[in-house]
Structures are given as structure tokens and as C-alpha cells.
Structure 1
Amino acid sequence: MSKPNSILIINPIIDNTWEIQVKNYVEGLLEKRRKVIMKTILRGPKSIECYYDLELAANGVIELIQEVQKSDENFDAIIINCFGDPGLEAVREICNIPVIGPGESSLLYASLLGDRISIVSISKEEKSWIADPRLITKGMEGIFASFRGTGLSPSKIVSEKDCVFDVILQAAKRAVEIDGANVIVLGCTGMAELAKQIEKEINIPVVEPLACAVGIAEILIDSQLSHSKILAYREPPKKVIRWERG
């Protein structure tokens, strides 16, 4: 069935616990302007916490997109719901509609709001395995203040929101007081509903990645723009690809 004027949100992990929460959140942002369709990958990791998980998730995202393309479903844009943007560039190559990553979107938004950006994420490390390459690609190293890890698991973000809020808030405060941050980016889309609460506590912009992705998707849809197919995201050459031994 055709789904005109709609956005496909891909859950790039096999755990579908997030689906209803994410769908309701995005529908709230869109205020019925567009239809929201959620789909969860069939094969991949239960959570994304390292490069290995990211690559497994990317394969699952590509597989899901290819299945959608075989159907008669139509969408105006696709959002891959993870700060790590698994499969983002590859999916742009095989699609002719905007494909948006919350991680990339949030960093671009943050660069408009201040000149000392800190990322607060789920990682235990005080270094961003997930954001550093993207910061370099986008030429943003000069305005990156710090990465503050919280050591939270994705499942805990869902199940223990009160405890999670305090942990994230303290990490954000350290980024401001110690690292000199004047913009905070939340490095996990599971933190979405906490953004405004944290912003009230620290009095600087707190950028929520999924909301940024939705905003950019709407702008591109309304502007009738999509990704370039010259060099950057050109269609992959046709070839035989084998996933299993024949």
C-alpha cells in the first residue's frame, strides 16, 4: 500500500522495545503534518555500543531498505534512528529520497548554535568512537570541546529514566564547567525525552539528534531536495553479491 507524505523511521537494532516510544515522539514533533512509519531490522545487534555493532546494524538497515524497495510502499524520507547513523551513506546510494542520520544532523545543528560543542553519550570512555570520524569529515574539530561518557546501557535509558536523567545531567554539567562547552549534543536518540529538562538545568542549548533529523527531513521534503547522485552518493554498480555460500 502506498504511503504518501510519510517518513520511514528505521530502528537499526533487533530490539523493538523502542518502537512505540519513538513513533509517538516523532508524531508529536510532526503534529500530524506527515505520517510516521516505524520498521525494525530483522538481523543485527540488540544494541549499538561499538564499531562492530555499528557495522552489523548497517547490514540490517541495508537489508530492510532493499525489502521495502521490493514492496509497493513509498516514503518521502528515511531516518535511521541512531546517533551512529549505521548504513547512512550506503542507503543514500541506493535511494532517491532524503536519507537522514540523527548523528550527522545534530552536529550540523550544534555548529549553528555555539563554538564549543560537547557530546554526552552512553559510552564509558571519555572519547567518542562514534563521533570523532564524523567531526573530522564535517570539519568541526576546531569547535569540539569534549566527549563525556556516562557508562549507561541503552536498555537502562528506557527502564530507569529517573536515575538516567541525573547521570546525564551531571555529565552535561561537567562538560560546561570543566570543558567550557556552550552547546551539548545528546549522543543517543534514546535520550530524546530528556533534552528539554537538561537544557533547563544548564541554561545552554541541548541538541536532541532525532528531532534534528526530523527537522532536516521536513526541510528537504518541502524543498523537494535530495542527495546528489554525482560522485557523492551515486548508484552502486550492478554486480553479483553473495551473502551465503552457494
Structure 2
Amino acid sequence: MIRVVTLEDPGLLRLHGELMEAAFPGLHTVSVCIPDQPRGVCSPETEAAAVPKILEIARKLRGVDALVVSCCGDPAVEELRRELDIPVIGAGAAVCAVARVLGRHPGVLGIMEEVPRPYRTMLGESLIHLGRPEHVTCTLDLMTGAGREAVIRKALELKAHGADCLALACTGMSTIRIAEDLRRACGIPVVDPVTAEGLFAYYVTVKNAL
């Protein structure tokens, strides 16, 4: 698993992998992060900056059965699918694939004003997007009480505008484990990015090996 935020804390670095392993027994993950992006991917510019770093890390990996890019913009995923002979899973496409099953009008809830590319491509005109939560400009803002409350408010706005499920568009929302709070607050299905990418990682590795 490649994390797109620079993390010094080994526990935070491993967190997404541990969430996947807990949800899908049999998965075993190794986590690495890109350098020099302490705010992660929070704009088109930071996403573009992450691509060569992801490519460099991925090209050096050995002995893995699949690669997960834990970012909802799926940076470098298409390039790596052309280069590597193992499945490459992006969080964004994984979320959208699940959301298309759960609702007709998914509400996209992320940290950027723009809708991430995989969501535009896969959900098209059926999606509902109302911008980012108030005062949330990067993944670090999600870890504050104010950031968490802003995400819940935006989710309720999306539901009021007709969203019948929520497609979370930042893996930082998995870090703060907010999906269950959103389900309770809104009463509609919520697609958690790390759970979604874990589902596909499980299918292409553990499930296919049975």
C-alpha cells in the first residue's frame, strides 16, 4: 500500500493497512508513503506532484501480489497498470464501483473543491457534489473536532440535495473512521475508501488464491 501523505508515525503509516486486514482476514499489507508531502494530496497541484513519487516507489516494490494506491484521485494508477504485471487498485475507482451498486445518486464527499477524476468518469451526471466541508483544506484538518463536524454537516447537505448514498472521496476520512458516524447521521449507505480498496485487494489476492 502506498500512502500519499508523508508520515513519520509508524502507527499512522500502518493504519490503512491494518483497517483492511481487520475487515478482510487473510490480507497482509506492507505500507510505504511518499516523501515531502506532509499535507498529502489536497489539490490538483499536490496530486500532480505525487505521481512521480508514487511511480518511483512502485517500481522498486518486490514480492507483492497487488498494489493499492490509497488516494481517491487514483494518481499514477493508470500508468502503473500499464507497467506492472500485478493488479493495481486505486481507492477512487474502488469507491465508485461500490457506490454504483448502492445508490443512483451518490453524494461525493471529499476535501477538494473539484470532484476527483475517477468519480467524474465512473459516476458522471448521477453524482451530487457540493464542494468540500467548511474549513477543511487537507487531510490534517479532518483530524480536528471542527473538521469532523464539518464533514458531518456536508454529508447532511448532500442528503438534503438528493444523495441516496455517500461516496467518500478522501482516504483521510478512513483514518478518522467517520463512516459509521455518517451512516447514523444520514441514514444512507456510506462507502469508506479503505474498506472499498480492501474489498478489491482481497478479491484479487486472497479470494482468487482459494
The bucket for the TM-score relative to the shorter chain is 0.7 to 0.9
For 1:26-37, list aligned pairs within 5 A.
26-31=20-25, 33-37=26-30
What is the TM-score with the length of structure 2 in the denominator? 0.88
Return the match for 1:155 from 117, 137, 140: 140
For residues 27 and 113 of structure 1, do their structure 2 counterparts lie closer, same or farther at Cα, with a shift above 3 Å needed? same
CA contact 2:168–2:192 (8 Å) conserved in 1: yes
For 1:60-209, list aligned pairs within 5 A.
60-68=53-61, 73-123=62-112, 125=113, 127-128=114-115, 131=116, 133-138=117-122, 140-150=123-133, 151-152=135-136, 153-158=138-143, 160=144, 162-177=145-160, 179-192=161-174, 193-209=177-193
Q: Whole-Å Cα distance in 2 between the matches of residues 147 and 45 of structure 1? A: 26
Question: Which position in structure 2 is the counterpart of 1:215?
Answer: 199
Gaps of 5+ in 1: 1-8, 225-246
CA contact 2:92–2:119 (8 Å) conserved in 1: no
Bigger radius of gyration among the two? 1
Q: Whole-Å Cα distance in 1 between the matches of residues 120 and 141 of structure 2? A: 30
For residues 147 and 88 of structure 1, do their structure 2 counterparts lie closer, same or farther at Cα, with a shift above 3 Å needed? farther
Q: Whole-Å Cα distance in 1 between the matches of residues 37 and 158 of structure 2? A: 33
CA RMSD of aligned residues (A): 1.9
Q: Which has the higher helix share?
A: 2
- How far is 1:23 from its partner? 3.1
CA contact 1:43–1:60 (8 Å) conserved in 2: no
- How far is 1:28 from its partner? 1.5
Aligned residue pairs: how many? 202
Q: Which has the higher contact order (CA 8 A, sep 6+)?
A: 2
CA contact 2:39–2:140 (8 Å) conserved in 1: no
Q: Whole-Å Cα distance in 2 between the matches of residues 66 and 174 of structure 1? A: 42
SS at match of 1:37: coil
